[in-house]
Homo-oligomer: A and B are copies of this chain.
């Protein structure tokens, strides 16, 4: 690795002269600047990032903690985070908590030793179920900024990026009601998560406000590691009259669609289905699934922007909560 020292020795000048020359300092003669730059280019000199980080006490690196990269929502969020971070001159160190609180805690601890300037994260399922957030508060106490997106906790005072989960499910339910649906079921395999509960509440509220809706709310909860298919098959067996399904996670909707097709439901004539997710590989279903789009790219981008703003501002601004608009996208599984 070429260093300032190498350049200085070859040019018979001091290290600082080289440093200043490379920074186009006014103090250095044009001639020297030129000679230094020529040699630097010739030897493909690159300033050592580690040394600069040490000097400046900042790394221009963001720690990103993702609960589950195999979940398309998080893959897309990571995509957006990387893109915006890169644009702003930051690298990202990626950690995958795999929904484990211990791994999440470990990653925060390991990177809070000067490795990163701040964190962007979404909470692991385990942390969220137990509302176990002390490890995150620890980081904040060390004055390392944290931005949490999607899966947040009210007990942490930091910047957050969320969507209006309640409103999104409320709107989707309203839509099915407006289609004249009489038996609307909600399917969730994320009931343990904050966002899951909020979305369920939105569904409940919309139904309770509906004047001429006679059926009781029907929420089918699928536990995290259970098979998705069996409960959905049971649903169609026990309640063949179901005519509206809202899936509030990003897989059960597509499973419901597959099963309904297999059982010869006419979609959307007999049955409407609304999923929850950005467009993704599931778009290849036929008919195409109507979904609530979370605008995942905006979520990722906003998270980076909040963090970068926080890193740049010296004075303590109080926590900002940014809500990203969702959009009900009607494709072919709704009337």
Judging by beta carbons under 8 Å apart, are B281 and A49 in contact?
A: no
Judging by beta carbons under 8 Å apart, are B285 and A258 in contact?
A: yes
State in angstroms the CA–CA spacing of A51 and B113 once bound together. Answer: 10
Q: How far is the CB of A291 from chain B (nearest CB, A)?
A: 14
Judging by beta carbons under 8 Å apart, are A49 and B114 in contact?
A: yes
Judging by beta carbons under 8 Å apart, are B83 and A96 in contact?
A: yes
State in angstroms the CA–CA spacing of A92 and B65 once bound together. Answer: 12
In the complex, which residues of chain B have a beta carbon less than 8 angstroms from the beta carbon of A110?
91
Cross-chain pairs A/B with CB under 8 angstroms, 9 sampled: A47-B113, A50-B50, A50-B115, A64-B94, A69-B79, A70-B72, A70-B76, A78-B96, A281-B282
In the complex, which residues of chain B have a beta carbon less than 8 angstroms from the beta carbon of A109?
46
Q: Which of A53-61, A122-130, A195-203, A324-332 contacts B (4 or more CB under 8 A)?
A: A53-61
**Shortest Cβ distance from A284 into B: residue:** B255
A78-B96, A91-B110 given; name 18 further pairs at CB < 8 Å. Answer: A1-B57, A1-B114, A1-B142, A50-B59, A69-B69, A69-B75, A70-B75, A70-B76, A82-B95, A86-B95, A91-B93, A91-B95, A91-B111, A93-B93, A228-B284, A251-B284, A255-B284, A281-B281
Q: Is A280 an interface residue (CB 8 A)?
A: yes
Q: Is A112 an interface residue (CB 8 A)?
A: yes
Q: Is A229 an interface residue (CB 8 A)?
A: yes
In the complex, which residues of chain B have a beta carbon less than 8 angstroms from the beta carbon of A75?
69-70, 75
Judging by beta carbons under 8 Å apart, are A78 and B69 in contact?
A: yes
Q: Is A261 an interface residue (CB 8 A)?
A: yes
Judging by beta carbons under 8 Å apart, are B61 and A54 in contact?
A: no
Q: Is A48 an interface residue (CB 8 A)?
A: yes
Judging by beta carbons under 8 Å apart, are B70 and A82 in contact?
A: no
Q: How far is the CB of A62 from chain B (nearest CB, A)?
A: 10
State in angstroms the CA–CA spacing of A271 and B282 once bound together. Answer: 22
Q: How many interface residues does chain A have, given as a range?
A: 35 or more
Judging by beta carbons under 8 Å apart, are A78 and B59 in contact?
A: no
Q: How far is the CB of A63 from chain B (nearest CB, A)?
A: 9
State in angstroms the CA–CA spacing of A196 and B47 once bound together. Answer: 40
In the complex, which residues of chain B have a beta carbon less than 8 angstroms from the beta carbon of A284?
228-229, 251, 254-255, 258
In the complex, which residues of chain B have a beta carbon less than 8 angstroms from the beta carbon of A113?
46-49
**Shortest Cβ distance from A254 into B: residue:** B284
Q: Is A262 an interface residue (CB 8 A)?
A: yes
Q: Which are the 4 A-B pairs with shortest beta-carbon distances?
A: A46-B113, A94-B94, A48-B114, A49-B115
State in angstroms the CA–CA spacing of A261 and B264 once bound together. Answer: 12
In the complex, which residues 74-105 of chain A have their Cβ closer than 8 Å to any Cβ of chain B? 75-76, 78-79, 82-83, 86, 91-96, 98
Chain A, residues 32-55, CB within 8 Å of chain B (1/0): the string is: 000000000000101111110110
CB-contact partner of A96 in B44, B46, B82, B95, under 8 A: B82
Interface centre among A50, A54, A59, A82 (most CB of B within 10 A): A50
Q: How far is the CB of A303 from chain B (nearest CB, A)?
A: 15
Q: Is A286 an interface residue (CB 8 A)?
A: yes
